[in-house]
Structure 1
Amino acid sequence: MDTTRTPAPRLTPTPTPATRLAPGLALAFAAAVGAWAVQLVVPALSALLVAILLGVVVTHVWRMPEAVGPGMKVAAKRVLRLGIVVLGLQLALDDILALGFGVLAVVVVIVAGGILGTLALGRWMSIPRPLTMLIACGFSICGAAAVAAVEGNTDSDEDDVASAIGLVVLFGTIMIFLLPLLLAPLGIDDRTRGLIAGGSIHEVAQVVAVGGIIGGGALTVAVVVKLARVLMLAPVIFTLSLVQRRAGGTDAGALPPIVPLFVLGFLAMALVRTFLPLPSAVLDVGQFVQTLLLGAAMFALGTGVHVSLLKKVGGRPLVLGVVSTALVFGLAFMGMILLG
């Protein structure tokens, strides 16, 4: 009799969410620590700028394994929002109120003018309306988050969404370097430059990077203005859903919250900073945590910037991206300068 036993098959453990996210998050946070170390050695270099540059370089010289994908996506979205929440500790409530009615009115003009102007330009350039709408909202409101939010209220497909997000990352990253260079020779004070940055740049992370480069009081005021643009997402999506229904399209999905949770968290931290006597050590720790969180997020966003985007997107959407970026910047520049 054959007594040889057949070995039991090895069971591959089912990966948990933590194990799936760990490689990408570890890479993003390692890059953030490296960027922070560079800033310690060269204080003139913002850790946030170094992080996004590192992401751009890495994506061109190294084919990242699929295992890091899930964690990198979380870094670019959830970690970013956590960083913005912690950033609230650097801002007192009276700084938010100090923006005033004039700045908020300019924000409305930027969003409305950017969307309507980009739609008109896209129609003139014969670019499909769904892609044009995604570009218009992404460039005028809050970048990739706006693209993803309005997708359900358009007839766009996956290629349209990928192209719009790619353009947001590409042109927003270009503005990180270009905007400070454009504003530096004009003799504009740091706060006004922060207002212009918050009113014109696409992604929150990119706004943070520019605010860090400008320095002074630019960072917090830039983020507050940017969050005011984020708040415009709800009325824009509501308007798009009404247009979709009246045109006989598919029923719009659930509307997003009027105020996103990370914005509420940001304001909650600002309230804590305003009404509680926090020691300087707590604020210093908060700033360090903020740098790590936002650095990891911007590294992840930087890996999305690749020259292959230029080939995939095509010429006309690229031109529309250039003109839309210039339009939003022009509205922000003129509005904030007039207020000054």
Structure 2
Amino acid sequence: MKTFKYNGIDCFRLIAAFLIIAIHIGPLSSINNTLDFGFTYVLCRIAVPFFLMTTGYFILYPVAVEGNDNSRFLAFLKGTLILYVVSVILYLPVNIYSGAFNKSFSIWGVIRAFFLDGTFYHLWYLPAVLIGCIFVYLLCRKVNIKNVFIISLFLYLIGLFGDSYYGFIKNMHFINYFYDIIFKVTSFTRNGIFYAPVFLVLGMVLRKVKCNMQFKSKVIFFVISMSLMLMEGLLLHYFDIQRHTSMYIFLLPSMFFFFQILLDIKGDRYKDLRNISMYIYIIHPAFIITVRMFVKVFGSMSVFIDNSMLNYFIVSILSLLFAVIFNTLFTKYKEWRNV
């Protein structure tokens, strides 16, 4: 069923899912490492903030700012939690086979993996969005959205020095001691406290404050912001400053203008893309593993992983096919249940 509105948001959901696959494969790595870093670990970093801002814009704002009935918000939290638990179970055999639990198994390790880090490398997003949403919602009940944004911005700044700007503080003993404590609690500052809130709130702000800037101006400022982010990322990489590559200063203005561009693109809305993009996100590591196992069995087919671009296309196509088929079957199942 199609509804007129937000075509840009829906279409980019699918693109963002493929950008996330790129982050986990590095499609240009067999061509040029610097080119791959710039594309994969800088430009593709707009994907996750996009999903967070979408949640802030459509899910959090109505309940946290307008004070609407929170049933939709609670349904979102419940659905995300169920999806996360299912995903954890889905990748449990891989974790057991790889010996991930044997390396640092402890009660705290399990708690940290489930609530903060994610039990598999791509699953960190689900607990991050859950914690981030609850955190922002509770803050909005105490202070206005302006102060919530200031608080989330401050937390992002803290997270920034535990991520892409870590090299500037790692030899400052007092500050580094503070970050050592953080890293004992969580492996990365890219989580539901230091990373997710600012993008959730940014989505809320863009719904509350209407921008009268012309579409052309938004595009120009987005291109400028992304160019500066690319320079920022490449410089940090060149001087070996980064501990991780998720958080950049110019990611914030880039997303501010980019999300507005997407909001301005109106048309027939395709709600199925929301589910399809999420299924791609959940399943694509399974296909990365499947392709590698296929090559391991058939050694002569090593081109499928040696050629990073080919590897990326194969994993993307398999993930898309699975997502479309699963979404179709699941939709039919729900229709059958409602008969």
What TM-score results when the alignment is normalised by the length of structure 2? Answer: 0.32
Structure 1 or 2, whichever has the larger Rg, is: 1
